[in-house]
Chains A and B, each alone.
Chain A
Amino acid sequence: MSKDKQDRQDVNDSAKSWFKSGSPWVWLTAAAVSASIIMVAGLIALIAVRGLGYFWPTPVLVANYHESDVRTVPIIGEIRDSEAVPLARLRANGETIKSDNEFITRHLLRVGNRDIQGMDFRWVLEPRLSQQHYPDDVMVIERREWGNFYGHLQAVKENGKIIEEGDKTWDVLQQRIARTQKIFGEIREIEKDDIGAINYRLEQLRLDERRMEIANDSNADNRASISSERTALQARYKVLQQNLAQLHININRDILVAKTGDGQVVDIPLAKVVRAYRPNAMNILNKSLFYLEKLWEFVSDEPREANTEGGILPAIFGTVMMVILMSIFVTPFGVIAAVYLREYAKQGPLTRTIRIAVNNLAGVPSIVYGVFGLGFFVYFLGGSLDQLFYPEALPAPTFGTPGILWSSLTLALLTLPVVIVATEEGLSRIPKSIREGSLALGATKAETLWRTVLPMASPAMMTGLILAVARAAGEVAPLMLVGVVKLAPSLPLDTNAPFLHLERKFMHLGFHIYDVGFQSPNVEAARPLVYATSLLLVLVIIALNLTAITVRNHLREKYRALES
Chain B
Amino acid sequence: MTAPTPDTSKALQKALHNTRHRQLRALKDRFARWSIAAGGAGVIITIVLIFFYLMWVTLPLFQSASLHKTGQYRAPGNADAVTWHLAMEEQHEIGVRFTDHGQVVFFAADSGKIISQVDSKLPTNIDITSFAAGNPNKATVAYGLGDGRAQVVRHIYDVTYPDDHRLITPRLENPLGDAPLVVDPKKHPLVQLAIQINEDSATLVAVTDDNRLLLLGLEKSESLLGDGDWTTTRTTLQAPASPIRHIILNLDQRELYAADQKGRISFYDISDKSAPRLIQTVTAVGESVQISALQFLSGGISILAGGSDGSLGQWFPVRDAHNNYTLRAIRRFKPLIGPVTNITPEFNRKGFMAAGQRGQFNIYHSTAHSTVLSKILSEYDAHQLAIAPRANALLLENANQQIQFYLVDNEHPEISWSSLWSKVWYEGYDSPQYLWQSSSASNDYEPKFSLMPITFGTLKAAFYAMLFAIPLAILGAIYTSYFMAPRMRRLVKPSIEIMEALPTVILGFLAGLWLAPFLEKHLPGVFSLFIILPVGVLLFAYLWQRAPKLLRDCVPEGWEGALLIPIIILISWAAISISQPIEQWLFQGDIRKWLSNDLGIEFDQRNSLVVGLAMGFAVIPTIFSIAEDAIFGVPKHLTQGSLALGATPWQTLSRVVILTASPGIFSAIMIGLGRAVGETMIVLMATGNTPVMDFSIFQGMRTLSANVAVEMPEAEVASTHYRVLFLAATVLFAATFMFNTAAEIVRQRLRKKYSNL
Seen from chain A, the residues whose Cβ lies within 8 Å of a Cβ on chain B are 14-15, 18, 21-40, 43, 46-47, 83-84, 86, 88-89, 92, 102-103, 333-334, 336-341, 343-345, 354, 356-361, 363-372, 374-376, 379, 413, 416-417, 420, 444-447, 449-450, 467, 470-471, 473-477, 480-481, 510-511, 513-514, 517-518, 523, 527, 530, 534, 537-538, 541-542, 544-546, 549
The answer for the CA separation of A34 and B560 in the assembled complex, in Å, is 9
Contacts of B428 in A (CB 8 A): none
* Chain B: CB-nearest residue to A380: B53
A340-B39, A538-B502 as given contacts; A444 in contact with B671, CB under 8 Å: no
B732–A367 touching, CB < 8 Å: yes
Is B504 in contact with A474, judged by CB distance below 8 angstroms?
yes
Whether the pair B36, A340 counts as a contact (CB closer than 8 A) is yes
Instruction: Spot the interface stretch: B141-149, B188-196, B204-212, B537-545.
Output: B537-545
Nearest 10 pairs between A and B by C-beta?
A: A340-B40, A22-B650, A365-B678, A474-B503, A446-B32, A32-B475, A29-B479, A27-B541, A477-B680, A444-B29
Instruction: Identify which of residues 539-597 in chain B touch chain A, using a CB-to-CB cut-off of 8 Å.
Output: 540-542, 545-546, 560-562, 564-565, 568-569, 572, 580, 583-584, 588-590
Instruction: Return the chain A residue nearest B672 by Cβ.
Output: A363
Q: Is B467 an interface residue (CB 8 A)?
A: no
Cα–Cα, bound, A366→B739 (Å) = 16
A/B interface sample: 10 pairs, CB < 8 A: A24-B538, A27-B560, A46-B510, A345-B40, A366-B680, A371-B729, A375-B53, A446-B31, A481-B713, A510-B505
Q: A363-B674, A366-B680, A475-B503 are in contact. Are A21 and B648 (CB under 8 A)?
A: yes
Asked if A40 contacts B496 (CB within 8 A), the reply is yes
Residue of A nearest to B742 (CB): A360
Instruction: Give the CA-CA distance A370 to B711 in the complex, in Å.
Output: 13
Question: Is residue B391 within 8 Å, beta carbon to beta carbon, of the partner chain?
Answer: no
Structural contact, A33 and B476, CB atoms closer than 8 A: yes
Q: State the CA gap A305–B167 with chains docked (Å).
A: 51
Q: In this assembly, does B182 line the interface, its C-beta being within 8 Å of a C-beta of chain A?
A: no
A337-B44, A444-B25 are known contacts. Are A89 and B650 too (CB-CB below 8 A)? no
Across the interface, B675 reaches (CB within 8 A) one of A36, A343, A363, A416, namely: A363
Asked whether, in the complex, the Cβ of A29 is within 8 Å of the Cβ of B685, the reply is: no
Cα distance, A186 to B442, chains bound together (Å): 50
**Cβ of B712: which chain A residues have Cβ within 8 Å of it?**
370-371, 374, 481
* In the complex with contacts A36-B496, A545-B498, A379-B717 CB distance below 8 A: yes
- Cβ of B495 within 8 Å of any chain A Cβ, yes or no, is yes
Q: Does A368 lie within 8 Å of B732, measured CB to CB?
A: yes
Q: Once the chains are docked, how many angstroms separate the CA of A336 from the CA of B745?
A: 25
Q: How far is the CA of A359 from the CA of B725 in the complex (A)?
A: 25
- In the complex, besides A359-B744, A445-B29, 10 extra interface pairs with C-beta distance below 8 angstroms are A26-B479, A29-B475, A86-B583, A86-B584, A337-B43, A365-B705, A366-B680, A375-B726, A481-B713, A517-B512
Chain B residue numbers with a CB within 8 Å of A356 are 741, 744-745, 748
- Tell me whether B46 and A413 are in contact (CB under 8 A): yes
Flag if B483 contacts A370 (CB, 8 Å): no
Shortest distance from the beta carbon of A374 to any chain B beta carbon, whole Å: 6
Nearest residue, chain B, Cβ from A50: B514
Residues of chain A contacted by B495 (CB below 8 angstroms): 37, 40
Q: A356-B744, A477-B705, A538-B506 are in contact. Are A31 and B678 (CB under 8 A)?
A: no
CA distance A542 to B501 in the complex (A): 8
Q: Contacts of A357 on B, CB cut-off 8 Å?
A: 47-48, 741
Task: Say how far B605's CB is from chain A's closest CB, in angstroms.
Answer: 13
**Residues of chain A contacted by B12 (CB below 8 angstroms):** none
Q: Is the C-beta of B509 less than 8 angstroms from some C-beta in chain A?
A: yes
Give complex CA distance A174, B562 in Å.
53
A273 to B267, CA, bound (A): 69
| Nearest-CB residue, chain A, relative to B652 | A22
Chain A CB within 8 A of B318 CB: no
B212 to chain A, nearest CB (A): 57
User: Which of A35, A336, A530 lies in contact with B39, CB distance below 8 A?
Assistant: A336
Is B732's CB under 8 angstroms from A37's CB? Answer: no
Bound CA span A374–B684, Å: 19
Report whether A27 and B494 are in contact in the complex, using a CB–CB cutoff of 8 Å.
no
Q: A22-B651, A367-B732 are in contact. Are A31 and B533 (CB under 8 A)?
A: yes
Residues in chain A near residue B498, CB distance under 8 A: 542, 545-546, 549
Residues of B within 8 A of A473 (CB): 503
Is B16 an interface residue, CB under 8 A from the partner? no
Q: How far is the CB of A229 from chain B (nearest CB, A)?
A: 31
B560 proximity list for chain A (CB < 8 A): 26-27, 30
8 Å CB interface, B642-690 against A: 648-651, 653-654, 671, 674-675, 677-681, 684-685
CB contact between B41 and one of A86, A340, A369 (< 8 Å): that residue: A340
Check A43–B534 contact: CB distance below 8 A. no
Are A30 and B561 in contact (CB-based, < 8 A)? yes
Judge whether B737 is part of the interface by a CB distance below 8 angstroms: yes
User: Do B501 and A30 have beta carbons less than 8 Å apart?
Assistant: no
Is B28's beta carbon under 8 Å from chain A? yes
Is A83 a contact of B521 with CB atoms below 8 Å?
yes
- Alpha-carbon distance A370/B200, docked complex (angstroms): 48
| Chain B residues within 8 Å of A39, by CB | 617
Q: Which residues of A contact B681 (CB under 8 A)?
A: 476-477, 510, 514
B502–A22 touching, CB < 8 Å:
no
For the complex, what is the distance from the CA of A370 to the CA of B736, rounded to whole Å?
A: 16
Kindly list chain B residues whose C-beta atoms are within 8 Å of the C-beta of A345: 37, 40
Q: Given the complex, which residues of A lie within 8 Å of B502, measured CB to CB?
A: 43, 474, 538, 541
- Quick check: B40 and A336 within 8 Å, CB to CB? yes
Q: Please, how many angstroms separate the alpha-carbon atoms of A447 and B732 in the complex?
A: 44
Whether the Cβ atoms of A29 and B512 lie closer than 8 Å is: no
Q: Of all chain A residues, which has the CB nearest B730?
A: A368
Expressed in whole angstroms, the Cα–Cα distance for A344 and B29 within the complex equals 12
B50 within 8 A of A: yes
Inter-chain CA distance A368–B504, complex, in Å, is: 16
Please tell me if B126 contacts chain A, counting CB pairs below 8 Å: no
B492 touches A372 (CB 8 A): no
When the two chains form the complex, which single residue of A22, A337, A369, A518 contacts B649, counting CB atoms closer than 8 Å? A22
Of B28, B505, B650, which is in contact with the most chain A CB atoms at under 10 Å from its CB?
Answer: B505
Partner of A89, one of B546, B589, B685: B589
Bound complex: CA A374 to CA B709 (Å): 11
**Residue in B closest to A32 when the chains form the complex, CB atoms:** B475
Q: Is B67 an interface residue (CB 8 A)?
A: no
Instruction: Mark contacts of B28-66 with chain A using CB atoms, 8 A cut-off: 1 yes-contact digit, 0 otherwise.
Output: 110111001101110110111010011001000000000
B534 and A28: CB pair below 8 A? yes
Whole-angstrom distance between the Cβ of A24 and the nearest chain B Cβ: 5
Which partner residue on chain B sits nearest A353 by CB separation?
Answer: B741
Cβ–Cβ < 8 Å partners of A413 in chain B: 46-47, 50
Report A-chain residues with C-beta under 8 Å of the C-beta of B568: 31, 34-35, 38
| CB contact between A34 and one of B40, B494, B564 (< 8 Å): that residue | B564
Tell me the B495-539 residues at the A interface (CB within 8 Å).
Answer: 495-496, 498-499, 501-506, 508-510, 512-514, 521, 533-534, 537-538
Chain A CB within 8 A of B268 CB: no
How close is B657's CB to chain A, nearest CB, in angstroms? 12
Closest partner residue, chain B, to A333 (CB atom): B43
A336 to B713: give the CA distance in the assembly, Å: 34
The listed residue (B37, B572, B729, B748) touching A368 by CB distance below 8 A is B729
Roughly how many angstroms separate A341 CA and B43 CA in the complex, as a whole number? Answer: 11
Q: A22-B651, A33-B561, A89-B589 are in contact. Are A361 and B47 (CB under 8 A)?
A: yes
Assess the A23–B32 pair: CB atoms within 8 A: no
- B399 interfacial by beta-carbon distance below 8 Å: no
Contact present for B512 and A31 (CB under 8 Å): no
Asked if B729 and A339 sit within 8 Å, CB to CB, the answer is no
User: Within residues 1 to 29 of chain B, which ones have a CB less than 8 A from any CB in chain A?
Assistant: 25-26, 28-29
**Contact across chains for B729 and A444 when beta carbons are under 8 A apart:** no
Task: Tell whether B106 is near chain A: CB-to-CB under 8 Å.
Answer: no
User: Is B472 among interface residues, defined by CB-CB distance under 8 A?
Assistant: yes
Residues of A within 8 A of B492 (CB): 33, 37
